[in-house]
Amino acid sequence: MTPETLLSILKLTPGWAEQAEAVELDDTATLQVLSEARKLAENTLAPLATRADAEGCKVENGRVKAPSGYRETFRQMGVDGWIASDLDPEFGGMGLPLALYTAASVALEGAAQPFMMMVGSATAASHCIAATNPELAAEWCPKLTAGEWSATICISEPDAGSDVGRIRTKAVQEGTSWRILGTKCWISFGDHDASDRIGHLCLARTGTPEEGTRGLSLFLVPNHIDGQDNGIFVERIEEKLGLHGSPTCVLRFEDAKAQMLGDPGRGLPALFNMIELMRLQVGTQGAGVATACATLARAYAEDRKQGGHPAKPPVPIISHPDVERQLLIMDARAKLAVALALENAVVLGQAHAGDAEAARLATFLLPLAKTFGGEMGQQNADAAIQVLGGAGYTREWPAERYFRDARIFTIYEGTTGMQAQDILFRRLLKDEGTLDLLRARLGGARSNALIDRVTEMVETLRSLSLRAQMLAADGMLRACWYATSAGLAERLRGHLDGDAGLDVWLSTGEAHMATVEATIHWAAQA
């Protein structure tokens, strides 16, 4: 996706103009940022990703060795301002709008998503530390934004994944500091040699097990203090389907010194400052992969010659209707994934500025971005392999790597099932005004009709049992997405190159909603 197209989608997003004006950003400056991001993606990150996938990560003498080039690239990205550029300048950022940071990240994520997980964690951690402990932020945030230090999010344990209330890692107070004891798993970049220091944002139990999530607090746990190891050990790194360039670690904390972030027993609310941005990052990862795969498939289809009249030279496969159909759908997914990520970023920016209605809408849009940005990234990776045919299945082309890497999108940072329950129980059934806010923001005839149908489905669900509601949760999540995507598609039509893919998307909306309604009917009878 070109920088010009990204800029067009930004300008079509309600609220962007005000956010750009507030920091004196005009179209020329915005386009320059997006153009520089594309150059970085093409010239540095894409080659890095290819090497990293082949090289992988390994443990040597108890430490994780990251792929070659990671340390230098991470540091340079910090020097050049690509890490947490939306953070307040007081803490080392540039104060840019979150939406611009997100738009620039589309190309970066599409080029090297496994590496960018380290950048995303450092960015999200910077915001979390700044929001919960200004004293620690003064020390840590400038180092994180400079690419000298990095950070992780430590939630999952062997017996506590999505069920966070079962976390057993303990925090024991020792004077003004704390000691952490326990094991954490699935920790992306939990250890590596690509930065001088790693700060683990770790959920640990300060209350009793019976208190569930209310007994959890958030801590910053450095991997070393004054040059001395801080009791954090790498038990192993996972062998994975994809993300070979991202070390996924099991970490053991043995009396590791820590400092609390936020208030005791309020670990989850404090950590949500980080979770929120990391879920947006997943949506942006999906948008990046969706756009990269759409671009790859179209370029291949224009170049690859096959078929046509046997007495004439073969024709580019893009001229075959079935290939054209696939490319149109890929193009629509890419545009909608980007529009969804930028919609979320603008709304989150408004929420952070104190807009109460935007804050309500953000909690509705974020599960959609995380889930369907991720799904569209997966779907386009799969479609790219199909368009490339046998070539797409080989490592000569990056489509198979995108396919392997993208499979994680709907798993980490909250599975699709968790997002569905959040949408249904915390938004639709609890906050009756959410759909009205969505209707007002999208303002399209077709999307409004679909939102009305979602409203009717919600009323149907109110009378069903809890079990039936949970069976229907995934369907409701998808209904919300179909309504939202229709509004986004209507907004984009006529403003970007080519509307055919968006027309295909809009024409199938009714069929998708009918499937959802059938699912709800089944749940009611189950």
Q: Which of 396, 413, 490, 517 is catalytic?
A: 413
For residue 524, what pLDDT is reported?
87
For residue 525, what pLDDT is reported?
87
For residue 136, what pLDDT is reported?
96
User: Is residue 177 pLDDT above 90, yes or no?
Assistant: no
Can you list the pairs that 209-212 forms with residues at least 24 positions away whose Cβ atoms lie under 8 Å?
Answer: 209/166, 209/168, 211/265, 212/165, 212/166
Q: Which amino acid is at 267?
A: G
For residue 308, what pLDDT is reported?
86
> pLDDT digits over 87-127, tens only?
999 999 999 999 999 999 999 999 999 999 999 999 999 99
Q: Exposed, middle or buried by CB within 10 Å (0-12, 13-18, 19+), for 120?
A: buried
**Quick count: other Cβ atoms within 10 Å of Cβ 526?**
11
For residue 102, what pLDDT is reported?
98
For residue 161, what pLDDT is reported?
82
**Phi then psi for 231, rounded to 5 degrees?**
70, 30
User: Is residue 340 pLDDT above 80, yes or no?
Assistant: yes
Q: Exposed, middle or buried by CB within 10 Å (0-12, 13-18, 19+), for 40?
A: buried
From residue 245, give the alpha-carbon distance in Å to each of 17, 182, 288, 292: 37, 26, 17, 18
What confidence category does residue 309 fall into, taking pLDDT thresholds of 50, 70 and 90? confident
For residue 444, what pLDDT is reported?
81
Q: Exposed, middle or buried by CB within 10 Å (0-12, 13-18, 19+), for 321?
A: exposed
Mean pLDDT computed over every residue of the chain? 95
pTM over 0.85: yes
For residue 174, what pLDDT is reported?
86
For residue 160, what pLDDT is reported?
87
User: Is residue 526 pLDDT above 80, yes or no?
Assistant: no
For residue 445, what pLDDT is reported?
83
What confidence category does residue 381 fall into, taking pLDDT thresholds of 50, 70 and 90? very high
**Quick count: other Cβ atoms within 10 Å of Cβ 497?**
10
For residue 364, what pLDDT is reported?
95
What confidence category does residue 141 fall into, taking pLDDT thresholds of 50, 70 and 90? very high
> pLDDT digits over 403-457, tens only?
999 999 999 999 999 999 999 999 999 887 899 999 999 888 889 999 999 999 9
> What average pLDDT score do residues 65-94 get?
96
Q: Exposed, middle or buried by CB within 10 Å (0-12, 13-18, 19+), for 381?
A: buried
What confidence category does residue 170 fall into, taking pLDDT thresholds of 50, 70 and 90? very high
User: Is residue 273 pLDDT above 90, yes or no?
Assistant: no
User: Is residue 382 pLDDT above 90, yes or no?
Assistant: yes
What is the b/e burial string over 459-472, where b = at least 16 CB atoms within 10 angstroms of the residue's CB?
ebbeebeeebbbbb
User: Is residue 497 pLDDT above 90, yes or no?
Assistant: no
Given the structure tokens 């159909």, which residue do they identify? 325
> pLDDT digits over 474-495, tens only?
999 999 999 999 999 999 999 9
Per the model's pLDDT, the better-predicted residue between 210 and 397 turns out to be: 397
For residue 176, what pLDDT is reported?
81
Contact 151, 121 (CB under 8 A): yes
From residue 223, give the alpha-carbon distance in Å to each of 230, 258, 259: 5, 10, 13
60 is catalytic: no
